[in-house]
Amino acid sequence: MELQPIFFYILAVLSVGGALSVLLMRSPVYCALSLVGTFGFISAIYILLNNEFVAAIQLLIYAGAIMVLFLFVIMLLNLRVDVSHRIKWSLPKLLGLAVSLGILGQLIGAFTSSAAKLGPSGTHTPEYVAENGAIEIIGETLFTEYVLPFEIISILLMVAVIGAVILAKRRDGGEEGR
């Protein structure tokens, strides 16, 4: 029996568990740390797929830089959590739960169906990637076809940090005047 599918399923379950803990944790810091774990499991899946470069970038960029940025913003905003372990069910929450379960059922049905097939293969064959190198192809694609989304994401992150700093300064200024 081959071990790679077993490791894939274990890592996939751990990734989904980490993502669920991001949603279910009360503390923003614990949510951010759960997201770091999820990024780590996804990076391990990339290693199973023999794409070590993407795995390293996943860890360096997302788990490293982006999560440090998120933790900085969370700590700058000084979010406090009111501890209440009771779930208050309301109509919007029940409706959201029903829609989520419906989407989950559709996803499970789509992926377990015999009609579920892989989509069309990409333009870069494994031979082309082996000849030119994955890093060169990723860099060329990122800075030619996807340069606009790349720059938009960097601007969005910068605006988010500036907004968090402004909110934190405004909160500090309001409390000092009292």
Q: Are residues 76 and 139 in the same domain?
A: no
pLDDT at 177: 45
74 is a domain residue: yes
Residues 74 and 138 in one domain: no
Residue 64 domain-assigned (yes or no) = yes
Q: Consecutive 10-residue runs of the chain (178 residues): their mean pLDDT?
A: 81 93 85 89 91 87 80 70 65 88 88 68 77 83 88 88 80 53
Shared domain for 64 and 139, answered yes or no, is no
User: Does 110 map to a domain?
Assistant: no
CATH number of the CATH domain containing 26 = 1.20.120.1200
pLDDT of residue 171: 66
User: CA dist 107 to 48, 74, 121, 128, Å?
Assistant: 23, 33, 22, 33
108 falls within a domain? no
| Residue 173 belongs to domain spanning | 130-178
Per DSSP, the residues of 34-50 read HHHHHHHHHHHHHHHTT
Count of CB atoms within 10 A of residue 157's CB?
15
